[in-house]
Amino acid sequence: MPDSKTPDWKAIVRQRMSASGPSCDAREEVIAELAGHLEETYEAARSQGIMEDAALEFTLQEVNDWRVLAANIHRAQLKEDPMNSRTKTLWLPGMISLLGASLLLMALQRTNFQPRLIWFGHMAMLFYWPWLAGLPAFGALGGFLSRRAHGSTRARLAAGLSPALVLLAAFAVILPVGLAVDGFSLFRLAYFCLSVTNWVVLPAFALLLGALPFLRESSTDSEQRTA
C-alpha cells in the first residue's frame, strides 16, 4: 500500500544543496539524480517494514555531504557529455559570433566596398561603416546562444563581445612586437591607440548594443533559480 505522505524528494534536495553549486540547468539535473537515488533508498527501507519517520531519517543519513555528492554527480555528467557547460555557454556562441562578424567584413572587402577614410591630424583611419552597423546583430546572436544554453551573465557578455575581444588580444601582441621592431615614438603610440579605438572600442560598443537584451535572465532561468 503506498505511503499516505510521500516525501517530496526534489524539494528536500533543493533545501540541502548549496546555492553556489552547478549552473541552473546542471543543478536541476543533479537534483533529479539525487532525488531518484533517495526515493529508491526510502522505498527499499519502507518495503522492509520500517516506519515512515525512521525510513526518512535513514534515507537522509545516506548523504554525508550534499555539496560533495552534487559535485561528484555533476562531474560525472560532464564526463559523459563531451560538450561541457563552458563550451556550450561561451566558446561555441563566441565562435559563431566571431565567425559571423568576420564573414561580413570579408564580404565587404571582396565586393570592393570602399571604406570611408577619416583623417586625424597626420593620421588616417579606414572605417567600414556597414560592418559596424551589422555588429549588433552578431553581439545579439552570441548573447542569445549563450543564454539559451543557460550561460552566466559573464558568459553571455563574453560571447557577444567575442569579435572585439579577439581583436583586442591581437593588438596586445602587435604593440610589444611593433615597439621592439620599430622602436618607441609618440606618433606610433598615438596611431596604435587610434587603431584600438577603431577596431576594438567602436566594435565592442556596437556588439554590446546587440548583446544587452540577452544579459538579463530569461523567465526559464528565473523559475529554475527560485524553484
The span from the CA of 40 to the CA of 87, in Å, is 34
Q: Does 3 fall in a domain?
A: no
- Give backbone dihedrals phi and psi of 161, rounded to 5 degrees, phi first: -95, 5
Decide which of 53, 81, 109 is a domain's last residue.
81
Q: Does 25 fall in a domain?
A: yes
Same-domain check for residues 144 and 200 = yes
Q: Does 104 fall in a domain?
A: yes
Same-domain check for residues 66 and 91 = no
Q: Does 2 fall in a domain?
A: no
pLDDT at 166: 94
Same-domain check for residues 72 and 95 = no
pLDDT at 66: 64
Same-domain check for residues 49 and 103 = no
Q: Does 91 fall in a domain?
A: yes
Nearest to 138 by CA among 176, 101, 166, 193: 101
Same-domain check for residues 66 and 131 = no
Spell out the per-residue pLDDT of the chain, length 227, in tens.
444 567 888 888 777 765 545 555 556 777 777 788 788 888 888 888 888 888 888 877 766 666 666 666 666 655 555 557 788 899 999 999 999 999 998 998 888 888 787 877 777 778 889 999 999 999 999 999 999 988 899 999 999 999 999 999 998 888 788 777 777 777 778 888 888 888 999 999 999 999 999 998 655 554 444 44
Nearest to 72 by CA among 24, 17, 150, 152: 17
Same-domain check for residues 115 and 195 = yes
Q: Output the DSSP codes for the chain.
A: ---SS---HHHHHHHHS-TTSS-HHHHHHHHHHHHHHHHHHHHHHHHTT--HHHHHHHHHTT-S-HHHHHHHHHHHHHHH-SS-HHIIIIIHHHHHHHHHHHHHHHHHHHTT--PEEEEETTEEEEE-HHHHHHHHHHHHHHHHHHHHTT--HHHHHHHHTHHHHHHHHHHHHHHHHHHHHH---HHHHHHHHHHHIIIIIHHHHHHHHHHGGGSSPPHHHHHHHH-
Domain assignment of residue 199, given as a range: 85-225
Same-domain check for residues 147 and 169 = yes
∠ CA 86-145-199, rounded to 5°: 90
Which residues have C-beta within 8 Å of that of residue 222, sequence separation ≥ 6?
none
Decide which of 31, 66, 81 is a domain's last residue.
81
Number of domains in the chain: 2
pLDDT at 224: 46
pLDDT in tens, 49-101: 888 888 888 877 766 666 666 666 666 655 555 557 788 899 999 999 999 99
Decide which of 33, 48, 81 is a domain's last residue.
81
- pTM of this prediction? 0.61
